[in-house]
Chains A and B, each alone.
Chain A
Amino acid sequence: MSAAATVAGLLAGLEAPDAPGVLAAGAAQSAGEILDAVREGARWTLMAISAIVLVYSVSINTSYLLLIFLATWDAVHHHRRVSFSTEEDLYSNPLTPPVTVIMPAYNEEAGIAEAVRSMLSMRYPTFEVIVVDDGSKDGTFERLREEHNLVELPRVVPDDIPMRGTVLSTHVPANGSTPLLVIRKTNSGRADALNVGINFARHPLVCMVDADSLLDPSALLLVAKPFADDPMNVVATGGVVRIVNDCDVVGGRVARVRMPRRWLVRIQVMEYLRAFLLGRTGWSRLGGLLIISGAFGLFRRDVLVEVGGLDPDSIGEDAELVTRLHRYLREGGRDYRIVFVSEPVSWTEAPSSAAVLARQRRRWSRGLAELLWKHRTMIANPRYGRIGVLTLPYFVLFELLAPVVNLGGVALVPIALWAGAINMDFALALLVASFGYAVLVGFVALAVEEYAFRRYNSWRDLGVAAVASVAENFGYRQFNAWWGLQGIFAALRRTKQVWGVMTREGFSTPGRPAGGKKG
């Protein structure tokens, strides 16, 4: 309150109106005086709202900065231990827990063969891959059948987790040794397809990956490490998701990392770095990780069964699952850890057109709104520890409401200027300062990337990343806020949930044109 009042005073700048304007209305006798008093009151209200927007803007960027600093601690720690910590420990260790990788696939004909081939060549001691063909209408299954010489192997359908779709058939490679199971089922959505995969999983850990994602060769090994280190307490780990657009992909692996060609995707690269990599690492360090991306997450199967798997009615099923895990384990009084691992990488294709991006962001925003509503009793509830008193209130304030405040600010500033509530030059200077702070946060994230991960090697990519950090603030954020607002309204109206079509361009293989595909 005091901060807002101070900023309101600042916003008044050199032409501050009389402070007791509203009070003066009480003494006004004529209609003209009453009108003046109302106008004065409106000016003060606008000023107060503008001040709140400004304080909000400073707070949200400061929170990003704090999360990045926490992530930096983690990155430095990781960087230092590289010399005396080897992957070999885990790879050669007989106690490394076996993993079932589940890939739900819907109309993934273009990339499924390469994705499964890439998954089967992961560097990990014991694992199986389950592809759940969720009623694809294209040749997804045929591609797999040709590639792996699949034969039908009837299986009794397990029912640990309730399923909506019907399992039609199960198939394995004829060679009897490739650890692959392909399940064909009627279409019932991604969450239900994952539940089917969890039911069929044979191993104690379950890794959920998107069929259009590519994993670094040792990604599974590194994301499973927390389970091997602390098998009694770790229940879930999440890995980093980065953007693969325009990177060179050879044999299902990202061979050379490049900045994408389009600015829309370049900006998303910086956004993923700041919000997904460093933001989630920061939350993990605080013990308050809420989101594990559906594109790359590892879970204990028994705990997934206990909580009933993913919620097929949720459009943000990944975050909803993690929130439900927190809720269930906290209510059961169990010791547990949910960890984010900043180095293994899953590469995924980001939307390259505004229309597809808009659909994605509406879906994310709606998913978050529905999740927070579903678990509203956890918000600010000390029973749920840091998740209850820190993470969820933060998500309400700085994730869910961000579009409302941002667009509110955009709409109010012209009105406030017109009403004379704020001084033009002053407002402009504050706006620049606000953008400057956001750019600073982007540069800090870029510095952490450069010192800790160094994925983008060329000087040109570095320059592009720096420009994208600046460009993100001019238009991209405002459109994002608009789409986010639409998502919130969709959640409020409870309109029919639509996943939407993600138009893909395919992976860029040197010497071969990228093939388009839709999933």
Chain B
Amino acid sequence: MSAAQLVSLTLALLAGAVTLLGLVIVMGRALHRYRDRRNARLSAGVRPLLLELIGGDSGEEVSEPLIRLATLNRRVWRAVEPGAISLLAKVSGNARTALVRLLEQRGLARDALRDLSRFSAVRRASAAHVLGMLGHAEAALPLVRLLSDRNAEVRATAVRALGQIGTAGAASPIISMAGGRAPFQLVAQALIRLGPGARPALVEALSHDDPAARAVAVEVLGLTGAVETAGALVGVLAGDPSSDVQVRAARALGRLGTPVCLNALIHATGPAHRYAVRVEAATALGDLGSPRAVPALRDLLADPRYHVAHSAARSLSRLGRPAAAALTETIAERAGTPAASHAWEALALQDLQAGRPLRLPEAAPR
């Protein structure tokens, strides 16, 4: 083949490829629009039935729309199904029970259980998602097995589904997913949904080798108000090798708010602790809300590290009159120092929250 022929062939191929791509784009858009219009038309007639189903209070009110929806022909149901599944996340009580009944009658749970072992990762993830939305308890075991799936998306969906189903026994395998096997926030949310039944596994995880597992356990114990575990969390705050885990422990103790938390947090604001831990401990003392923290926080206003002093000031602004008195004293005793400036800021914040005119230092520019 000569050079001229080669160039001509290249040109022809390029022209063909551009034309083909143009057609693919146009056909794709046309097809998409056609499907959207068809699905909208098909589901429009059925939507009132769905609303009737989730709006019904008694069994009688629900039975007719349930029968009609359960016997819809397959073509129409396929247009309605995605909307019905997404409705599950938006309703509760009787409405949810009726919707779950409908979806189970349509064979969704059965199909999803079968799809958990499909070759396609998208099918497996979608199946796990549906089972979680339905709260299908029988799916717990296969979903736990899915936690070791090769596909990250499938593992993530299985974690969420187990949380939705509420299988407390799955807590340990879910915790072990925190170290990069599944999204951290999904693991935490699933564990929160499992409730008090997951606490023994969470306490055990406080001594896990993986800092991510310890971090998620600390967060969930704090967020679920597990006051009986405060002692264990104090131990984490004092001695965990990861500063990230210590920071989370300080935050968790601030949420729990027991006396043992107060002393541990005050101790954690000391200079022997890492900067990030001290900042979080000062913030947590504000969350905890005890006036007993005021003297320690007042001392922290003079801390040379900005964020320690600033967090202490913000915490004091939340502690009412005892804090206001301490702030006024600081202004008088330490006039002209950064501590006094932090105190002014805290007082101004109190004024803002109370809707009063702001007290400002005389030197402040207006």
Q: Which residue of B lies closest to A233 (CB)?
A: B180
Complex: A86 Cα to B88 Cα, angstroms: 13
Tell whether A154 is near chain B: CB-to-CB under 8 Å.
yes
Flag the segment in B99-107, B200-208, B259-267, B342-350 that touches A: B342-350
Q: Is B352 a contact of A174 with CB atoms below 8 Å?
A: yes
- Residue A56, interface by CB 8 Å: no
Q: How many A-B residue pairs have CB under 8 A?
A: 156
Q: Is the CB of B185 within 8 A of A229?
A: yes
Given the contacts A84-B125, A84-B126, A232-B244, A156 and B352 also touching, CB distance less than 8 Å: no
In the complex, which residues of chain A have a beta carbon less than 8 angstroms from the beta carbon of B219?
A: 95
Categorize the interface residue count of chain B: 35 or more
Residues 5-22 of chain A, each 1 if its beta carbon lies under 8 Å from chain B, else 0: 000011001100000000
Q: How far is the CA of A233 from the CA of B183 in the complex (A)?
A: 12
Given A153-B345, A154-B341, A433-B14, check contact A83 B4 (CB 8 Å).
no
Residues A155 and B184 in contact, CB atoms below 8 Å apart: no
How near does chain B come to A336, taking the closest CB pair, in angstroms?
13
Contact for A10 among B3, B180, B183, CB less than 8 A: B3
A437 touches B185 (CB 8 A): no
From B4, B26, B188, A426 is in contact (CB under 8 Å) with B4
Q: Are B21 and A93 in contact (CB under 8 A)?
A: no
Known contacts: A10-B3, A230-B180. The answer to whether A302 contacts B360 by CB under 8 A is no
CA distance A86 to B87 in the complex (A): 13
> Contact at B349–A153, with CB atoms within 8 Å?
yes
CB-defined contacts of A88 to chain B, threshold 8 Å: 89
The docked-state distance in angstroms from the alpha carbon of A96 to that of B219 is 12
Q: Closest approach, in angstroms, between the C-beta of B111 and any C-beta of chain A?
A: 15
Let me know if A432 is at the binding interface, CB within 8 A.
Answer: yes
Say yes or no: is A73 at the interface (Cβ < 8 Å to chain B): no
* Interchain residue pairs A-B with the least CB separation, the first 4: A176-B352, A229-B183, A84-B129, A436-B14
- Which B residue sits closest to A88, measured CB to CB? B89
Interface hit among A319-327, A445-453, A498-506 = A445-453
Contacts of A214 in B (CB 8 A): none
The answer to whether A430 and B7 touch (CB under 8 A), given A81-B125, A83-B126, is yes
Residue B6 interfacial (CB < 8 Å): yes
Nearest-CB residue, chain A, relative to B185: A228
Q: Which B residue's beta carbon lies closest to that of A443?
A: B21
Q: 10 A-B pairs, CB-CB below 8 angstroms? A: A10-B7, A89-B189, A153-B348, A153-B352, A154-B360, A176-B352, A302-B276, A426-B3, A429-B11, A443-B21
Among the listed A155, A432, A440, A459, which residue makes an inter-chain contact with B18, where contact means beta carbons less than 8 Å apart?
Answer: A440
Contact of A89 among B160, B211, B212 (CB under 8 A): B160
Q: Please determine whether B129 and A153 come into contact, CB atoms closer than 8 angstroms.
A: no
Interface string of B325-366 (1 = CB under 8 A from A): 000000000000010011011001100110100101100111
